[in-house]
Amino acid sequence: MKILIALFVIAVVMLMEGFGIWMLLGINEHEPTSRGRMFWLAVIVVTQWLGGLAYCTYRTLRPIHGRSFFSHRRGSPLKHGWQPHVGGV
């Protein structure tokens, strides 16, 4: 039983750290100014997953250019005239 609890705790900690890393990568991709990047980088490094949660909430409630954090960056390829290859040479 103790082993299952230990494995559960390890899994939860790994998920929280993975979320923090995901938010660190999101800062570089979604934050428009270098000043904002440095601020959020410091917040996430100091507070780890809790800072990542704060950044995720901030970006979801205050999207950049009408896009939320979870929306695709470039939009759908079909909107830009991309057509799938139908066959032939």
What pLDDT does residue 61 have? 81
What pLDDT does residue 53 have? 92
pLDDT in tens, 54-64: 999 988 887 76
Two structure tokens written together for 76: 């759908």
Contact 19, 52 (CB under 8 A): yes
What's the mean pLDDT in 3-28? 93
Contact 18, 52 (CB under 8 A): no
What pLDDT does residue 9 have? 97
Q: How far apart are CA 21 and CA 87, in angstroms?
A: 41
pLDDT in tens, 31-81: 888 898 999 999 999 998 899 999 999 888 877 665 555 555 555 555 555
Two structure tokens written together for 29: 């991709």
Contact 23, 44 (CB under 8 A): yes
What pLDDT does residue 89 have? 52
